[in-house]
């Protein structure tokens, strides 16, 4: 692990990069220099991130608007008018009535407990059983409201759009040193009920409304300080240029601190992203050394070192998360590699025609099940047997790994993922795309998505098939069928035109023949496009591509690939993603190598 640290800690410095300028072609060199100038301009040795920072503070969620009188709430069959605070919280529940969350015991219990805190003492004494509450009128009301929103006229929609644009212009930008930068999340989430992933023990709890009194503002002393809404105060105004947050508050469910930060396209974020991939790139160079080392360590006399080496092997081979410590009962019971318990693995000395098979079955990040069976090397297998000796199912598999080491490994794993998955990707891209030069754009994109999918599968980024999946597949299939009919009609017409031309040999029939031939060609292309789309969608049914695409794949690889095969960048990255990866889009030439 120390070795890993030592080879990743020396971040590539702009100076080194400048010395290596010959690696880049001329236009990208100019671009890099510009970037460096921008980055170095403010980069100072004392760790400060800015000298001047001015912004307008966050945009708060709109205040609660009481329900119209016609919307009723019944308790135990009797009409009851709720006080505004109690009603507000009731609407959070009423809105979700169709969701299965509201049937879950923990959710109901947590909600009811928090709801009662918002009630007047009279309400509290009356409302004692959630089962006797009838929210159906509220639910009906919100459904009508959302229907009405969908039916809005063009002008009304335009008005909302303009209002959003106005807020963006006013609050969405800050001045950091000499640059105007986009702020990422300047709107504060409205209050609601906490859901969490999986069976989160806190689901149903009230996510409180955030008020100016909760907000700490960070800005420079000599800037125009943001003004809190009339009649309110900020919790505090600080001037700390060692951090890049503009504002922060503590949310009440997990007690975690939330920040308002710059948009991913901003200077600071772009630089961080770039460094991440550069580190991964450097890691690639010492990966072999690390692998040799952990193999050596499987034989170590010290149990701690053996455990570390086996854990590292799994992380490397399976791209598992390291998994950090968390407080008990805080979140759903999820684990990473280092927090695996005895019950999460099974050993099979022999299985079918394979030897030394390990079966993994556990809940990983976001409660996503990880299930895998893999043959491992004999030495790993023997070590695992040793680690399992005299342990109970709920004991830690790697009981000698300490917390500090785990968190250190966690950092490294990110780089490991990028580096390893990246190698995998470029390998796949090459094998899928070897001589794809003649393929149509949709076929090329299918290949790209396949490569991306392979990485997502490796990282276990699953998703439940979208609710609309079957429906949208059916629609697509209908379109394909229609196209096929069109095609056979067009082919028949072409045949007839041919016969016609053969018989008459005149100009008119020749022209018709040409037109028909073109039509067949066009329809064939359209059909192919639809078929490729169907394949892509089907293969993607249970896989979430986003995480690996946005966090693990060096965007320069994707960009270079697009340039090489003349695929428009827009087909791979949407607008927000293009902003995030602007640096890579300008930097990567088609021969870029990771
Ligand atoms: C809840 O109230 C609605 C009227 O708003 C009524 O139609 C419905 O039967 C009530 N449900 C129950 C379970 O009492
Ligand atoms: C682009 O994709 C991201 C998901 O990666 C999504 O959150 C975002 O809204 C999309 N942006 C646009 C402009 O479509
Ligand atoms: C307030 C805020 O959002 N950001 C930081 C400002 O500076 C302090 C340090 O003094 C940080 O703790 C805050 O997170």
Q: Does 216 contact ligand 3 (Cβ within 6 A)?
A: yes
Enter the CATH code of domain 268-423.
Answer: 3.90.15.10
Q: What is the DSSP string of 528-558?
A: HHHHHHHHHHHHTTTB--HHIIIIIS-HHHH
Whether 289 and 10 have beta carbons less than 8 Å apart is answered as no
Distance CA 491, CA 487 (A): 6
Domain 437-587 has CATH 1.10.132.10: yes
pLDDT score, position 268: 66
Pick the CATH number of 53-60+171-263 from 1.20.1440.130, 1.10.150.120, 2.170.11.10, 3.90.550.10: 2.170.11.10
Confidence at residue 172, expressed as pLDDT on a 0 to 100 scale: 87
What local confidence, expressed as pLDDT, does residue 425 receive? 52
Sorted by where each begins, the domain ranges of the chain are 53-60+171-263, 73-151, 268-423, 437-587
- Which residues are within 8 A (CB) of 555 and not within 5 positions of it... i.e. 6 or more apart? 273, 277, 573, 580, 581, 584, 585, 588
Q: Is the CB of 235 under 6 A from ligand 3?
A: no
Pocket test for ligand 3, best of 220, 245, 250, 259 (most atoms within 8 A of CB): 245
Residue 474: exposure state from Cβ atoms within 10 A (0-12, 13-18, ≥19): exposed
| Phi, psi of 80, rounded to the nearest 5 degrees | -145, 135
Report pLDDT for 294: 84
Smallest CA separation from ligand 2 atom 8, residue: 576
pLDDT < 70 positions in the chain: 1-50, 178, 267-269, 271, 276, 279-284, 286, 323-332, 402-439, 594
Find the ligand nearest to 246 CA. Answer: 3
Structural contact between residues 517 and 494, judged by C-beta atoms closer than 8 angstroms: yes
Question: Is any ligand 3 atom within 6 A of the Cβ of residue 197?
Answer: no
Tell me the C-alpha distance between 237 and 220, whole Å. Answer: 10
Out of 168, 574, 579, mutate this one to test ligand 2's pocket (max ligand atoms within 8 Å of CB): namely 574
Distance 133 CA to ligand 1 centre (A): 10
Superfamily of domain covering 73-151: Yeast DNA topoisomerase - domain 1 (1.10.10.41)
**Residue ID of nearest Cα to ligand 1 atom 10:** 134
Ligand 2: residues within 6 Å at CB?
546, 550, 574-577
Instruction: Report the pLDDT value the prediction gives residue 410, as an integer from 0 to 100.
Output: 57
Query: What's the pLDDT at 39?
Result: 42
Residue with tokens 């100016």: 212
- pLDDT for res 413: 61
Residue 62 neighbours by CB under 8 Å, 6+ apart: 190
Alpha-carbon distances of 222 from 52, 182, 234, 238, 243, rounded to whole Å:
8, 21, 18, 12, 17
pLDDT at 27: 34
The closest-lying atom of ligand 3 relative to the alpha carbon of residue 218 is 1
Write the residue with the smallest CA distance to atom 10 of ligand 3: 240
Active site residues: 552
Pocket of ligand 1 (CB under 6 A): 72, 74, 134, 136-137
- Give yes or no for residue 237 CB within 6 A of ligand 3: no
Look at residue 397 in the predicted model and tell me its pLDDT. Answer: 92
| CB contact set of 286 (below 8 Å; sequence gap of 6+) | 3, 4, 7
pLDDT at 564: 83
pLDDT at residue 376, rounded to an integer: 93
Q: Tell which atom from ligand 2 comes closest to the C-alpha of 574.
A: 1
Provide the pLDDT for residue 162: 93
């Amino acid at each position: 692990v120390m070795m890993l640290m030592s080879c990743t800690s020396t971040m590539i410095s702009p100076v080194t990069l400048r010395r290596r300028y010959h690696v880049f072609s001329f236009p990208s060199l100019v671009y890099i220099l510009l970037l460096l100038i921008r980055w170095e301009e403010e980069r100072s040795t004392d760790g400060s991130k800015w000298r001047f920072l001015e912004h307008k503070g966050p945009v708060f969620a709109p205040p609660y608007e009481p329900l119209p009188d016609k919307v009723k709430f019944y308790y135990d069959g009797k009409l009851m008018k709720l006080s505004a605070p109690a009603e507000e919280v009731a609407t959070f529940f009423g809105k979700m009535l169709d969701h299965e969350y509201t049937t879950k015991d923990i959710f109901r219990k947590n909600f009811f407990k928090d709801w009662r805190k918002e009630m007047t003492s009279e309400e509290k004494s009356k409302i004692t059983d959630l089962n006797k509450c009838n929210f159906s009128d509220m639910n009906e009301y919100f459904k009508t409201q959302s229907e009405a929103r969908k039916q809005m006229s063009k002008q009304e929609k335009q008005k909302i759009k303009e209002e959003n644009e106005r807020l963006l212009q006013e609050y969405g930008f800050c001045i950091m040193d000499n640059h105007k930068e986009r702020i990422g999340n300047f709107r504060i989430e409205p209050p609601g009920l906490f859901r969490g992933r999986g069976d989160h023990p806190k689901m149903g709890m009230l996510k409180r409304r955030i008020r100016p009194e909760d907000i700490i503002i960070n800005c420079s002393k000599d800037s125009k300080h943001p003004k809190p809404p009339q009649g309110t105060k900020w919790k505090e105004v600080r001037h700390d240029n060692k951090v890049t947050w503009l504002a922060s508050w503590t949310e009440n469910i997990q007690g975690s601190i939330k920040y308002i930060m710059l948009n991913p396209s901003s200077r600071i974020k772009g630089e961080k992203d770039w460094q991440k991939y550069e580190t991964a790139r450097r890691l690639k160079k010492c990966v072999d050394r690390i692998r040799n080392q952990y193999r050596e360590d499987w034989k170590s006399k010290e149990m701690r070192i053996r455990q570390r080496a086996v854990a590292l092997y799994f992380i490397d081979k399976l791209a598992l998360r390291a998994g950090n410590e968390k407080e008990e009962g805080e979140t759903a019971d999820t684990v990473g590699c280092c927090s695996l318990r005895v019950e999460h693995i099974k050993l099979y000395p022999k299985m079918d025609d394979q030897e030394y098979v390990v079966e993994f079955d556990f809940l990983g990040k976001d409660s996503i099940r990880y299930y895998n069976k893999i043959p491992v090397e004999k030495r790993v297998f023997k070590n695992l047997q040793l680690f399992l000796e005299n342990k109970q199912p709920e004991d830690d598999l790697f009981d000698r790994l300490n917390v500090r080491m785990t968190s250190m490994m966690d950092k490294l794993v990110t780089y490991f993922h990028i580096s390893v998955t990246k190698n995998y990707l470029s390998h796949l891209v090459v094998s899928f795309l070897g001589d794809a030069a003649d393929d149509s754009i949709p076929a090329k994109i299918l290949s790209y998505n396949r490569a991306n999918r392979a990485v997502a599968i490796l990282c276990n980024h699953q998703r439940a098939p979208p609710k609309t999946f079957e429906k949208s597949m059916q629609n697509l299939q209908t379109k394909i069928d229609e196209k096929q009919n069109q095609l056979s009609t067009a082919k028949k017409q072409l045949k007839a035109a041919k016969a016609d031309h053969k018989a008459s040999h005149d100009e008119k029939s020749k022209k018709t023949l040409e037109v028909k031939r073109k039509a067949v060609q066009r329809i064939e292309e359209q059909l192919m496009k639809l078929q490729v789309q169907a394949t892509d969608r089907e293969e993607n049914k249970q896989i979430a591509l986003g995480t690996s695409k946005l966090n693990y794949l060096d965007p320069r690889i994707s960009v270079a690939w697009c340039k090489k095969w003349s695929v428009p960048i827009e087909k791979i990255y949407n607008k927000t993603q293009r902003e995030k990866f602007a640096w890579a889009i300008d930097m990567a030439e088609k021969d870029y190598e990771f």
